[in-house]
């Protein structure tokens, strides 16, 4: 391997003990993918025909990028001694090492790997996975002889649909290059950052220009890609309008009688179910904060969501959800009534009728959130978020007690194909419930004095 030249990130990456799992989380172009290829090569050099490496990408298009990297690298090191089977995406190195380039997008794809063993698992572009569940499943495929350390190395850029779970799991733990125990895998990991700036193998000025022209309307994403900072990109989608210092308010003790209130509900069973109590200010100070007339406060939240996966529900039925909503409403001394997503009003095809009817039987009354297209809804919500803190314009305020809201909204990504929309593969259920609730204002706008 002496012909190989590495950048300083890759040198550090290779110097981490093999017992450590690694999260290579950096800006674009720092040399992560190339670094993964070098790790695969070294693993095969060390363990010969016992080395079984699996490199995973979400799409076949992504795999083709890595094919090029490996062709260049293995060609340089082994000449024609390394053989690639392009149909099966398998490298066989002269030392007997086996490297498979695999695609994994759905649970259906997982069947390809079930029951098979690997000694090194490389997951590239993990930020494209909105949830970690599939990747977590893959860990069960790691098995080897006693003297071969099994290892997972994950690479990702900030700003993708998986930003939130990755940042939480790997970045906001210990500092860069410092080992920490990661709760889900119960393994010791290190976070290995990199940026294009430290990669002498590219024309850095040109690369920067390329990135700038790739995100002309998204300065947050550009910054994340340039600096590899997992905090700057606190949710590209709401980044420009959501600000804890303006939008977050301390939990209330009660809802004043002069305020209007309603529930905003996004139904889910396998997916999270989220309900907000929304209250609207008549132009009033409450518990130390002045809320201009028409301002909306998310007073309380009921989120049926699994702790380990922000995009999975608790499998509650409508009846169970209704009971929990009733309980929340009785704590606030309000009636359980409000708006819900249109899907709640579709006949489910069973004798029980629609979900809304099931709720009504339990004393929780919903009307449909008026249809506005998603983009209009998001624009309205973003406007209200941005207007919080102004003295003469209604804004949107959220109690700090709404933990699912604060745990998801800041990290939601933009839809890369439709930049004015939210990427709906992320945990967008709090955002959706909030949007439905605000649609009630649009519906009644003609009868209310404030402009929206």
Ligand X SMILES: Nc1ncnc2c1ncn2[C@@H]1O[C@H](COP(=O)(O)OP(=O)(O)OP(=O)(O)O)[C@@H](O)[C@H]1O
Residues that bind ligand X in the complex, under the rule CB under 6 A? 5-7, 10, 26, 28-34, 69, 157, 199, 201-202
Backbone angle region of 96, left / alpha / beta, with phi > 0 → left and psi within -120 to 50 → alpha:
left
Closer by beta carbon to Mg ion, 31 or else 336: 31
Cα gap 444→452, rounded to integer Å: 11
The DSSP string of 293-304 is TT-EEEEEEEEE
Closer by beta carbon to ligand X, 1 or else 231: 1
Per DSSP, the chain holds a count of helices (H) and strands (E) of 14, 18
Other C-beta atoms closer than 10 Å to the C-beta of 97 total 25
* Strand duo 120-123 + 248-249: pairing: unpaired
* Residue 141 interacts with, from ligand X, Mg ion, none (CB under 5-8 Å by kind): none
Give residue number: closest CB to Mg ion. 33
State the nearest-atom distance from the C-beta of 158 to ligand X, in Å. Answer: 10
Place of tokens 């260049």: 72
* Residue 437 interacts with, from ligand X, Mg ion, none (CB under 5-8 Å by kind): none
Closer by beta carbon to ligand X, 199 or else 354: 199
* Residue 158 interacts with, from ligand X, Mg ion, none (CB under 5-8 Å by kind): none
Q: Cite the DSSP H helix spans in 31-59.
A: 32-47
Place of tokens 């007997």: 96
State the nearest-atom distance from the C-beta of 212 to Mg ion, in Å. Answer: 19
* Residue 435 interacts with, from Mg ion, ligand X, none (CB under 5-8 Å by kind): none
* Residue 43 interacts with, from Mg ion, ligand X, none (CB under 5-8 Å by kind): none
State the nearest-atom distance from the C-beta of 209 to ligand X, in Å. Answer: 15
- Judge contact between 278 and 430, C-beta under 8 A: no
Place of tokens 């992504």: 62
> Helices 429-443 and 374-387, interaxial angle, to 10°?
90
Closer by beta carbon to ligand X, 62 or else 283: 62
State the nearest-atom distance from the C-beta of 33 to Mg ion, in Å. Answer: 3
* Strand duo 260-266 + 337-340: pairing: parallel
Backbone angle region of 340, left / alpha / beta, with phi > 0 → left and psi within -120 to 50 → alpha:
beta
Residues in Cβ contact with 101 at an 8 Å cutoff, skipping those fewer than 6 apart: 55, 57, 63, 66, 67, 70, 89, 90, 91
Closer by beta carbon to Mg ion, 66 or else 359: 66
* Residue 28 interacts with, from ligand X, Mg ion, none (CB under 5-8 Å by kind): ligand X
Closer by beta carbon to ligand X, 14 or else 137: 14
- Judge contact between 147 and 181, C-beta under 8 A: no
State the nearest-atom distance from the C-beta of 41 to ligand X, in Å. Answer: 11
Closer by beta carbon to ligand X, 119 or else 157: 157
Closer by beta carbon to ligand X, 206 or else 447: 206
State the nearest-atom distance from the C-beta of 199 to ligand X, in Å. Answer: 5
Tokens, residue 102: 């695999």
* Residue 294 interacts with, from ligand X, Mg ion, none (CB under 5-8 Å by kind): none
Closer by beta carbon to ligand X, 126 or else 430: 126
Residues in Cβ contact with 380 at an 8 Å cutoff, skipping those fewer than 6 apart: 372, 435, 438, 439, 442, 452
State the nearest-atom distance from the C-beta of 31 to ligand X, in Å. Answer: 4
State the nearest-atom distance from the C-beta of 65 to ligand X, in Å. Answer: 8
Closer by beta carbon to ligand X, 1 or else 375: 1
C-alpha 138 chain-centroid distance: 19
* Residue 31 interacts with, from Mg ion, ligand X, none (CB under 5-8 Å by kind): ligand X
Place of tokens 């920490």: 180
Q: Between the CA of residue 318 and those of 224, 270, 352, what are the distances in Å?
A: 40, 12, 11
State the nearest-atom distance from the C-beta of 1 to Mg ion, in Å. Answer: 21
* Residue 290 interacts with, from ligand X, Mg ion, none (CB under 5-8 Å by kind): none
DSSP state of 371: P
State the nearest-atom distance from the C-beta of 344 to ligand X, in Å. Answer: 41
* Residue 6 interacts with, from ligand X, Mg ion, none (CB under 5-8 Å by kind): ligand X
- Within 13 A of 408's CA, how many CA atoms are on the CB side? 28
According to DSSP, the residues that pair with 262 across neighbouring strands are 278
Nearest CA to 153 out of 163, 139, 140 is that of: 139
Closer by beta carbon to Mg ion, 199 or else 408: 199
The residue ranges that bind Mg ion (CB under 5 A) are: 32-33
* Residue 201 interacts with, from Mg ion, ligand X, none (CB under 5-8 Å by kind): ligand X
Other C-beta atoms closer than 10 Å to the C-beta of 44 total 27
State the nearest-atom distance from the C-beta of 229 to ligand X, in Å. Answer: 14
């Amino acid at each position: 391997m002496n012909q190989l030249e590495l950048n300083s990130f890759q040198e550090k990456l290779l110097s981490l003990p093999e017992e450590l799992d690694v999260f290579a989380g950096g800006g674009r172009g720092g040399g992560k993918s190339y670094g993964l290829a070098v790790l695969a090569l070294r693993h095969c050099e060390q363990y010969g025909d016992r080395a079984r490496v699996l490199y995973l990408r979400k799409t076949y298009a992504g795999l083709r990028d890595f094919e090029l990297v490996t062709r260049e690298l293995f060609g340089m090191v082994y000449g024609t001694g390394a053989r690639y089977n392009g149909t099966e995406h398998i490298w066989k190195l002269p030392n007997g090492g086996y490297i498979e380039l695999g695609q994994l997008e759905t649970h259906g794809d997982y069947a390809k790997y079930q029951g098979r063993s690997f000694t090194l698992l490389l997951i590239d572009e993990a930020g494209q996975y909105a949830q970690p569940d599939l990747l977590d499943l893959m860990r069960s495929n790691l098995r080897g002889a006693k003297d071969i350390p099994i290892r997972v190395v994950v690479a990702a850029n900030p700003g993708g649909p998986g930003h939130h779970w990755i940042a939480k799991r790997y970045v906001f733990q210990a500092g860069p290059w410092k080992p920490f125990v990661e709760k889900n895998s119960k393994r010791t990991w290190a976070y290995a950052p990199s940026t294009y700036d430290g990669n002498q193998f590219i024309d850095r000025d040109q690369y920067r220009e390329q990135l700038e022209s790739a995100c002309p309307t998204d300065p947050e994403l550009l910054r994340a890609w340039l600096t590899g900072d997992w905090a700057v990109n606190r949710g590209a989608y709401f980044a420009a309008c959501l600000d804890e210092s303006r939008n977050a308010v301390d939990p209330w003790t009660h809802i004043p009688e002069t305020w209007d209130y309603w529930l905003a509900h996004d139904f889910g069973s396998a997916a999270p179910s989220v309900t907000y109590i929304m209250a609207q200010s008549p132009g009033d100070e409450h518990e130390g904060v002045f809320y201009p007339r028409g301002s909306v406060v998310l007073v309380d939240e009921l989120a049926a969501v699994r702790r380990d996966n922000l995009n999975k529900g608790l499998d509650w039925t409508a009846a169970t959800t209704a009971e929990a909503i009733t309980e929340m409403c009785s704590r606030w001394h309000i009636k359980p009534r409000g708006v819900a997503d249109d899907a709640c009003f579709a006949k489910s095809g069973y004798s029980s009728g629609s979900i809304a009817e099931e709720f009504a039987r339990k004393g929780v009354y919903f009307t449909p959130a008026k249809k506005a297209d998603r983009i209009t809804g998001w624009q309205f919500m973003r406007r209200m978020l941005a207007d919080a803190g102004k003295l003469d314009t209604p804004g949107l305020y959220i109690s700090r007690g709404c933990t699912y809201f604060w745990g998801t909204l800041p990290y939601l990504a933009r839809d890369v194909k439709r930049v004015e929309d939210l990427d709906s593969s992320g945990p967008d259920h709090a955002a959706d419930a909030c949007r439905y609730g605000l649609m009630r204002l649009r519906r009644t706008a003609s009868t209310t004095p404030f402009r929206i």
